[in-house]
Amino acid sequence: MSVNKVMVIGAGQMGSGIAQVFAQAGFEVKLNDIADESLNKGYARIEKLLSRNVEKERMTEQEKESALKQISTTTKLEDASDCDLVIEAVVENMDVKTKVFKQLDDITPKHAILATNTSSLPITDIAAVTNRPSQVIGMHFMNPVPVMKLVEIIRAIQTSDETYQLIEETTKKLNKNPVEVNDYPGFVSNRVLMPMINEAIYTVYEGVAEPEAVDEVMKLGMNHPMGPLQLADFIGLDTCLYIMEILHEGFGDSKYRPCPLLRKYVSAGWLGKKSGRGFYVYE
């Protein structure tokens, strides 16, 4: 089996980015969302990024138009009926995701692989709601998708070797670097990253240093391209809190306890860059 037709469910920043890289690699892509408005925004985001690549001479106008022609939009999940691979990139909520996977299990061909872009939820639990658990896998793309090379490929306990190998090969066709990871809370990326961000928040909470100082130490002393608090603002403080809660619940270890200051900022609506204020203020 080979992957030719792909559906990406969710036209937000992650979903549109995933659709873009598949289209640029020559795959036929269906971008799905529940609302036309979301689809239009997602498609416009792709068009804008590709146009910027043309301006910076990273691609030609012809390559841009060729990529855009590979993408169609739809609000109908039933249009996945002829797809070889479906990648779900909806809200990070287990109830929503399992509902989508149950529907996809009925709609898609028997050979189709069902993937989730979840950053922290258990793939094993998602696979269990389908009648094809061996064909369910995690494909955790990094943000921004068109730029970042890493894709964490997460194997549920049920995922077959054949499914993993096909997804690994497909990921390489996207000019991405696949890394195999087993299904544990936070996988590798967020299990390592989020406690670091949480600890950085604790240093502010406890009065050790101001946010600017914490970020400078990590940038200049540890050679990080972005400080942990600036990165948290970029990710979204609500997302950081949610992942810390999953780690705390999943491992039952107090070292994953979310910092009270993180909870307070989220309660205040200070979610980072997307809300205009987090550890920094954004215009």
> What would the pLDDT profile of 178-199 be if each residue is shown by its tens digit?
999 999 999 999 999 999 999 9
Catalytic residue among 53, 119, 120, 198: 119
Give the pairing of strands 136-141 and 150-155: antiparallel
pLDDT at 80 over 90: yes
- 190 an active-site residue? yes
What CA–CA distances, in Å, run from 207 to 94, 200, 204, 211, 271?
36, 11, 5, 10, 21
Residue 277: count of CB within 10 angstroms of its CB: 17
| CA–CA dist 186, 230 (Å, integer) | 20
What CA–CA distances, in Å, run from 235 to 50, 131, 228, 271?
23, 34, 10, 9
- 162 an active-site residue? no
pLDDT at 26 over 90: yes
Taken in order of first residue, the domains within the chain and their CATH numbers are: 5-182 (3.40.50.720), 189-274 (1.10.1040.10)
pLDDT digits (tens, 9 = 90+) for 161-183: 999 999 999 999 999 999 999 99
pLDDT digits (tens, 9 = 90+) for 92-134: 999 999 999 999 999 999 999 999 999 999 999 999 999 999 9
Catalytic residue among 16, 32, 53, 190: 190
pLDDT confidence tier of residue 1, bands split at 50, 70 and 90: confident
- 111 an active-site residue? no
| The pLDDT of residue 9 | 98
| CA–CA dist 79, 84 (Å, integer) | 12
Cα maximum dimension of the chain: 57
Mean pLDDT, the chain, whole residue set:
97
pLDDT confidence tier of residue 233, bands split at 50, 70 and 90: very high
Segments of the chain assigned E as strands = 5-9, 28-32, 71-74, 85-88, 113-116, 136-141, 150-155, 177-182
| CA–CA dist 169, 270 (Å, integer) | 40
For residue 124, the 8-state DSSP code is H
pLDDT at 249 over 90: yes
Over residues 257-270, the mean pLDDT reads 98
Over residues 254-281, the mean pLDDT reads 97
Over residues 251-270, the mean pLDDT reads 97
| The pLDDT of residue 273 | 94
Distance of CA 261 to the CA centre of its chain: 25
pLDDT confidence tier of residue 283, bands split at 50, 70 and 90: confident
pLDDT at 88 over 90: yes
Catalytic residue among 32, 88, 140, 198: 140
